[in-house]
Structure 1
């Protein structure tokens, strides 16, 4: 069973504890139609812990490093989410937000045969994951999630007008997830069991700590999950540190030199990679087994300086890396 879990628009960035060389963006957010300032708009670097909100004048301030590579997300309930390259915004800029069109609903030629509870159980399984207990990672606003299942295509889709709020007591974060797309390609067995062929998820994430001081149990869980993450693998691949960081590569059952099937070319702050086969097996710390495949004819992808890769749909992971879900996901600035 192959699963693919991807993040929205290559949304990796880095959090800097010290802003000694940071720049500050000061801008305004207004309603496009009324020209009135919008209060309480969320402004953050996707996938990180760096964020703020607008004041009564629609004004916000946010600090960032010149090298920051994550999209700046502007999100407000009822309005279309915006993403910007922060380096292309000038101080004093006015950002205009547009109301979302009223949803008319999707028309299906056949009835959705599943109950909301059945669809919700599958959604939580594929979005949150099953590796931690439900009470340790739960969605606080389930009623805001709309779900549809098409029996002909066997695909489950989910939508949310508001950010999905997740309380993750396993890793110690509250996560606000602005979901743009969720599609689970399912397969029903003759016994009625629902299996998953693949999952694609797009969205923007913002993390906040549950506690001002991070307890030891959170630190241990974060270290464990980081070592078993796609982010760690991609950083190691780009830096040619696979062996040093505990990764082994296998091809058709045999261990091979780690970069035999990866042609790695640094270009500025990015790393361009050409995958020279269809599939490799990745073993981490001798026992954690995963596989990576690219079935497209175009087998090239790019890893940015923080470990994010693009395009996200091109690469599929299975095994340990493929089974990771939001309950296991750290801020993209973790470890930097």
Structure 2
């Protein structure tokens, strides 16, 4: 039986540059004709840090820390602007271009499955089928277009507006701009048991709307044992003080034999050392390892890249080439925390 492989990519663009002293991101947003635009949404991708322009079209985003992520400028009826290095300039003059009419004709195609069946699989692979995922509600389901590609046995999805997800378990409203989504099946099926691989890609904004203390406690539960904590453990070589164990097959191994970490002034370069007896027999780089968290939560991690970069927040590059299975593989958007999240306490 083939192992299921899942890819969950929540951030579209990553900036991996030198960490410098924090500074504000300041700018002004206008149309091509020079008209100022109030109420434009401005936020750091994957975080809770956002603001909107004032009556003069000006914005100032205050942050005590620099984040290796993009700045998104979004306003209805205009093309999004994505700044991959928002700290590059002391002041930004942003000109928004009117979005061309992208409404496409909708054809009713008989792909063999009902919308209800496709929506169920979409939610499982996008939100998650665990308690965190099941606690999420999509507030604008009608914006989603779902199609089963019978030729390639894939469920595809797109949305003409950001998907709004209320996560009642963690106390966040997430606006996710879906850029790409697919679920690859082992055969022509819509059943979750036949999923071989899934992936979603996009930008996100988190709005903290927690109303109960237990939601903040749940955030810590979601953090511990997550990929975010794993990558922090990796770059700081804190395996002994954390609850992660690394395995090659059934044998526990020393992580230093598999990873070389270089601190490049606050940004960590991770080099994966290929072992002769691991990975699939392929010309492509492929290293496959097992993880155990807290002596019971089992995961698999597959590296299709020889090197990648990690910042202090556990934000990584090459997320489409770092594939998780098992426990971490089941953690979808319902488990997703903002990049600026810090746990309330140590586990």
Classify the TM-score, shorter chain: 0.7 to 0.9
Instruction: Specify whether residues 35 and 122 from structure 1 end up closer, same or farther in structure 2 by C-alpha distance, changes over 3 A only.
Output: farther
Shift of residue 70, structure 1, vs aligned partner:
2.1
- Describe how 1:30-179 pairs up with structure 2 within 5 A: 30-32=30-32, 34-65=33-64, 67-84=66-83, 85-91=85-91, 93-103=92-102, 105=104, 112-132=111-131, 136-179=135-178
Aligned residues: 321
1:77-97 deviation per Cα after TM superposition (whole angstroms, max 9, x unaligned) = 333322211212332x32112
TM-score relative to the length of structure 2? 0.84
TM-score relative to the length of structure 1? 0.87
Question: Which consecutive unaligned segments of at least 5 residues does structure 2 have?
Answer: 275-286
Equivalent residue, structure 2, for 1:28: 28
User: Could you tell me how far apart the structure 1 residues matched to 2:77 and 2:129 are?
Assistant: 31
**C-alpha contact 1:154 1:185 (8 A) present in aligned 2:** yes
User: Could you tell me how far apart the structure 1 residues matched to 2:98 and 2:116 are?
Assistant: 30
**C-alpha contact 1:77 1:161 (8 A) present in aligned 2:** no
Question: Which consecutive unaligned segments of at least 5 residues does structure 1 have?
Answer: 14-20
Match of 1:226 among 219, 223, 226: 223
1:316 aligns with 2:323: yes
Shift of residue 68, structure 1, vs aligned partner:
3.0
Shift of residue 259, structure 1, vs aligned partner:
2.3
Shift of residue 124, structure 1, vs aligned partner:
1.0
Match of 1:259 among 256, 261, 271: 256
Equivalent residue, structure 2, for 1:17: none
User: Could you tell me how far apart the structure 2 residues matched to 1:12 and 1:233 are?
Assistant: 20
DSSP-derived class of the 1:309 partner: coil
Pairwise CA RMSD: 2.5
User: Could you tell me how far apart the structure 1 residues matched to 2:191 and 2:160 are?
Assistant: 30
Equivalent residue, structure 2, for 1:193: 191
